[in-house]
Amino acid sequence: MRIVTARVNHETNTFSPLATPLAAFNPLWGAEALAAGRGSTTALGTFIRFAEGRGASLVVPVSAHANPSGPVADAAFEALSAAILDAIRPGCDAILLDLHGAMVTESHDDGEGELLARIRALAPGVPLGVALDLHGNITARMVANCDALAGFKTYPHVDMAETGSLVAGIVGRMLDEGLVPCRAFVHPPMLAHTLCMDTRVPGPMREAVAAARAAEGRSGVLAATIFGGFSLADLSEAGVSVTVTAETQEAADRAAQDLAARLWAARWDFVYDEAPLAASIAAARAALAGPGAGPVLLLDHGDNCMSGGTCDVMDVLAAALDAGMDGILAGPICDPQAVAALYAAGASARVALDLGNRVPLPGFPAQDPLRVSGTVAALSDGQYVITGPTYTGQRCSMGRAAVLDTGAARILVSEQPHEPWDLSVFTSLGLDPAAVRVLILKSRMYCRPVFEPIARAVVECASRGVTSSDYGLFPFEKLARPVFPLDAGVAWTPG
């Protein structure tokens, strides 16, 4: 038996100015892809275990993951697709793919749909299973061109391996029992806010996921997924959706319609009311004056790495400094020019420089960099290993990194936009995030499992960046309208 499996992940923010060439994916090919995937807590890692457990001849043509950014360059998409297609072309017995579901390329609004259509044309009868991100913008084309698909049920995502196991189990039944899965797809006209999708706490997404799990407990239902979607993408089918894979079409359709009706009924619960930044700073000051230990955690969700932010918008740090806060630790702020200046000055040197607000944001007013001065407190290659629950054990790089100590704030500056996945983002440069008064992170959700436990309070802060929760800032042109909540009086009935 010959099984082909691969990983290609990208969540595309079509409003982001950040380019996405092939290098952004840090692709690994062939043997290196297999080595990186084996044992990892990803769907790819599960697919490898599945294939090896069956004694199959295993081919892993590519493993590639890029941080969210603008549309993927055509050359990158073609190179990644060609690697997978070339592995399938000689023939195989099963195909298992670890994809995202929200990839937009320069030429294809539905990157995954295009890739799956090419695969299906090349291998029309081969069992094809796909694991996807909870934030996938799922399309009818994706669903039509695979046999089984399922998405994560946690956000922050800590069930990537389990999702792979669910998909692999369905494909295993296809191989062993001749199962022919049926699929259903429902796409209500609805955009959900990412900050309403936290599955760790009571709320609409946790309730929706519980309903999906209950659906999987019904006879004949193999996989049911609530996709929150990724709304910062200007394409027709952006937004929430439901997919069900089942033994019969009737079971798939019934479960999908039921789950979609539940989503639509709860649509107002998926709307996030963004507070003005001044109000968030006032809330942070009140928290500092109150009881408790640990830092007050300020989350700059308008400019976060894992939604395609430039990570150089200075609104939140500037507001905290203007409010007279001290004991601040902030970062990573992406500013290669500032990193170069700090490296040139050297450790312990006194410097004054401009920081951030360098990358033009289409449709947003230009802002001057923040002028800061202080001492170069640390320099690093920016590499560390994640010890937290997401991507555990993965080696990460921020590019070169430096710390500027201004007295009121220590600012971690990096060459690359980087999500604060782990305490090691800071401890690798000799910084203790638990020991500061104010911790400013450019993050929406992924930092929370690691940083919330050390914080006395969490305050979400709005900055005017390309990952803002204010959808009114974005000029949607391709998005199918009317859509809730952008348009008033949207009516929709499942089925």
483 part of a folded domain? no
Query: Is residue 486 scored above 90 in pLDDT?
Result: yes
> Is the Cβ–Cβ distance between 343 and 363 less than 8 Å?
no
DSSP characters over 358-387: -S--TTS---PPEEEEEEEEEEE--EEE--
Q: What is the pLDDT of residues 96-127, one digit of tens each?
A: 999 999 999 999 999 999 999 999 999 999 99
Query: Is residue 495 scored above 80 in pLDDT?
Result: no
The pTM is what? 0.94
Q: Do residue 358 and residue 316 come from a single domain?
A: yes
For the packed helices 204-216 and 249-265, what is the interaxial angle rounded to 10 degrees? 160
For position 389, what pLDDT does the model report?
Answer: 80
d(C-alpha 37, C-alpha 64), whole Å: 10
Tokens of 20: 């996405």
Cis? peptide before 485, omega within 30° of 0: yes
Q: Read off the pLDDT of each residue in 416-435 and give the average, rounded to a whole number.
A: 96
> Is the Cβ–Cβ distance between 47 and 171 less than 8 Å?
no
477 part of a folded domain? no
Phi and psi torsions of 319, nearest 5°? -65, -40
482 part of a folded domain? no
Q: Do residue 309 and residue 420 come from a single domain?
A: yes
Residue 15, helix vs strand vs coil? coil
What residues contact 383, with CB distance under 8 A and at least 6 apart? 395, 396, 397, 398, 428
Confidence band for 286, pLDDT divided at 50, 70 and 90: very high
d(C-alpha 190, C-alpha 483), whole Å: 5
Confidence band for 244, pLDDT divided at 50, 70 and 90: very high
Q: What is the pLDDT of residues 289-298, one digit of tens each?
A: 999 999 999 9
| Domain stop point among 270, 286, 317 | 270
Q: Read off the pLDDT of each residue in 232-243 and give the average, rounded to a whole number.
A: 97
Closest-CA residue to 148 (of 133, 168, 134)? 168
Q: Do residue 38 and residue 85 come from a single domain?
A: yes
Q: Do residue 38 and residue 94 come from a single domain?
A: yes
Query: Is residue 234 scored above 80 in pLDDT?
Result: yes
Q: Do residue 390 and residue 292 come from a single domain?
A: yes
Closest-CA residue to 271 (of 490, 67, 109)? 490
Confidence band for 463, pLDDT divided at 50, 70 and 90: very high
Tokens of 234: 């200007």
Total tally of structural domains belonging to the chain: 2
Query: Is residue 235 scored above 90 in pLDDT?
Result: yes
Q: What is the pLDDT of residues 306-361, one digit of tens each?
A: 999 999 999 999 999 999 999 999 999 999 999 999 999 999 999 999 999 999 99
Q: Do residue 301 and residue 176 come from a single domain?
A: no
479 part of a folded domain? no
Q: Do residue 257 and residue 384 come from a single domain?
A: no
487 part of a folded domain? no
Q: Do residue 69 and residue 142 come from a single domain?
A: yes
d(C-alpha 166, C-alpha 244), whole Å: 12
For position 394, what pLDDT does the model report?
Answer: 82
Confidence band for 44, pLDDT divided at 50, 70 and 90: very high
For position 395, what pLDDT does the model report?
Answer: 87
Q: What is the pLDDT of residues 332-343, one digit of tens each?
A: 999 999 999 999
For position 318, what pLDDT does the model report?
Answer: 98
Confidence band for 438, pLDDT divided at 50, 70 and 90: very high
Residues in the chain: 495
For position 52, what pLDDT does the model report?
Answer: 97
Confidence band for 391, pLDDT divided at 50, 70 and 90: confident
Confidence band for 494, pLDDT divided at 50, 70 and 90: confident
Mean pLDDT (the chain, rounded): 96
CA distances from 184 to 167, 265, 266 (A): 15, 20, 21
| Domain stop point among 251, 270, 289 | 270
For position 319, what pLDDT does the model report?
Answer: 98
Q: Give the structural domain span for 422.
A: 277-468
Strand (E) positions, 77-125? 94-99
Q: Do residue 282 and residue 245 come from a single domain?
A: no
What residues contact 275, with CB distance under 8 A and at least 6 apart? 283, 460, 462
| Domain stop point among 226, 246, 270 | 270
474 part of a folded domain? no
What residues contact 381, with CB distance under 8 A and at least 6 apart? 397, 400, 401
Q: Do residue 262 and residue 289 come from a single domain?
A: no
Query: Is residue 390 scored above 80 in pLDDT?
Result: no
CATH of the domain at 222: 3.40.50.2300
For position 186, what pLDDT does the model report?
Answer: 98
Q: Do residue 84 and residue 157 come from a single domain?
A: yes
Q: Do residue 217 and residue 135 come from a single domain?
A: yes
Can you tell me which residue has the tokens 């690093």?
A: 380
Confidence band for 372, pLDDT divided at 50, 70 and 90: very high
Residue 422's CB is within 10 A of a number of other CB atoms, namely: 25
DSSP 8-class letter at 400: S
133-142, 158-167, 392-401: lowest mean pLDDT where?
Answer: 392-401
